[in-house]
Amino acid sequence: MNEARTAEINRKTGETDIELALNIDGSGEHDLDVQVPFMAHMLELFTKHGLFDLHVKGYGDVEVDAHHLTEDLAICLGQAFRKAVGGKSGMKRYGYMILPMDEALVTVAVDFSDRPHLEWKAEMPADRVGQFDTENAHEFFWKFALEARMNVHVILHHGHNNHHIIEAMFKALARALDEATKLDERIQGVPSTKGRL
């Protein structure tokens, strides 16, 4: 039987205080107490569509803006994925999803390569969705990729509603991660001719 692929991450700074628990092999269960409502919504649908169990308490200096808490949530989630996948033995490594959300169409592709990189081809049509600065979506994906030590590509094909676009990105990321973290009994060791990732 495989070991549980779980992780707990705590991060406390002068700007944020976050407790996060992740189970990659979950069922979409979530318990989210996050001070930025839009991020709470994105993380809720992320868990649902990736079938991850995610428990988060996230507080920060949101009276300044949502940047610090959004960034640190990404840092914690990225660290949790990196820790939970462990040595990546038997894991598929790659995943992608082309996902429609009403008028928006987004592709997200990921590689657990241990070479962090974000390729972002997504110009937002407006600066805000509700009280959330849309530039924080890029910040989230970049810090997630960096801390998970993953290669992440995000492409917006078309769309004009900020909410639909960002929601499609988070759903596509979840589906791509679900595919990449799947275990395949045919894979011996890690999926790399180098012998390690």
Ranges of residues in the chain whose predicted pLDDT is under 50: 1
* Amino acid at residue number 68: H
Parse the chain into domains and list their residue ranges.
6-180
What is the structure's pLDDT at 191? 81
Regarding pTM above 0.75, the answer is: yes
Nearest to 22 by CA among 62, 67, 82, 65: 82
Nearest to 156 by CA among 96, 95, 99: 99
d(CA 107, CA 86): 26
3-state secondary structure of 106: strand
What is the structure's pLDDT at 190? 86
What is the structure's pLDDT at 2? 58
Greatest extent of the chain over all pairs of C-alpha atoms, in Å? 51
Find out whether 106 and 156 touch, Cβ atoms under 8 Å. Answer: yes
What is the structure's pLDDT at 100? 98
Length of the chain: 197
CATH number, domain 6-180, options 3.60.15.10, 3.40.50.300, 3.30.230.40, 3.40.1050.10? 3.30.230.40
Question: What angle separates helix 162-180 from helix 37-50, to the nearest 10 degrees?
Answer: 40
What is the structure's pLDDT at 1? 41
* Amino acid at residue number 146: L
What is the structure's pLDDT at 193? 79
Whole-angstrom CA distances from 163 to 39, 65, 125, 132 are 11, 18, 11, 10
